[in-house]
Amino acid sequence: MTEIDATRELHISRVFDAPRELVYQAFMDPDQLAQWFGPVGFSVPRDSVVVDARVGGRQKLDMVDDTNPANVSAIDARFDELVENELISGYQDVEGIPGQPGVTRVSVRFEFHEEPGDRTRLELLQVFPAPLAAGAREGWESSFTKLDALLKR
């Protein structure tokens, strides 16, 4: 296993109390994605979400700062690998990252693993071209808290 550069690479492992089919679907269903994606304090307008769930397809959305709606981060992701209920891999072009001019491309990989008790372990690996992992960790952890709440409904 290669060593992770914590300033450029982010690894998060999180267990959700839901079957992996439901967790995977929350990434692919535009209605669900709009409800949980983005850290607390940001929302995703449903009309900004596009999901074309196939290799070569995309996932596109806008994260809007709830306190300053002019602060928008546009995310345009492409899928390099998709295995239903198991894997989402590709890259995200993100525009509007504070302190980062223009578009920042990050690679991202989500692995969905079955756990005992009909639970799912999600493994996230995100690789950045510049030291951005610290802020991204907080964002994902917050987003996953929102996803947890959605899955419990």
What is the structure's pLDDT at 129? 78
Q: Give the residues across from 65 on adjacent strands.
A: 42
Q: Give the residues across from 11 on adjacent strands.
A: 125
For the cut 90, the answer to whether the pLDDT of residue 96 exceeds it is no
Q: Please give the model's pTM, rounded to 2 decimal places.
A: 0.90
**CATH classification code of 9-152:** 3.30.530.20
What is the structure's pLDDT at 1? 37
What is the structure's pLDDT at 137? 87
Angle at 25 between CA 144 and CA 93, to 5 degrees: 65
Picking from 145, 148, 111, the residue whose alpha carbon sits closest to that of residue 42 is 145
Q: Give the residues across from 78 on adjacent strands.
A: 58, 91
pLDDT digits (tens, 9 = 90+) for 28-41: 999 999 999 999 99
For the cut 70, the answer to whether the pLDDT of residue 3 exceeds it is no
Provide the token pair at 7: 């300033």
What is the structure's pLDDT at 104? 86
| Mean pLDDT value across residues 78-91 | 98
State how beta strands 119-127 and 50-51 pair.
unpaired
| Mean pLDDT value across residues 67-82 | 95
For the cut 70, the answer to whether the pLDDT of residue 7 exceeds it is no
State how beta strands 50-51 and 58-65 pair.
antiparallel
Q: How far apart are CA 7 and CA 30, in angstroms?
A: 31
| Mean pLDDT over each residue of the chain, to the nearest integer | 91
Provide the token pair at 23: 């967790």
Percentage of residues in the chain with pLDDT exceeding 90?
A: 78
Q: How far apart are CA 76 and CA 62, in angstroms?
A: 9
pLDDT digits (tens, 9 = 90+) for 97-124: 777 778 889 999 999 999 999 999 999 9
Q: Would you tell me how many other CB atoms lie within 10 Å of the CB of residue 128?
A: 21
Which residue type occupies 53?
A: A
In the chain, where the domains are located: 9-152
Q: Say which residue the tokens 């209920």 belong to.
A: 85
Name the helix (H) or strand (E) containing 13.
Answer: strand 9-16
For the cut 90, the answer to whether the pLDDT of residue 2 exceeds it is no
Phi, psi of 116 (to 5 degrees): -55, 150
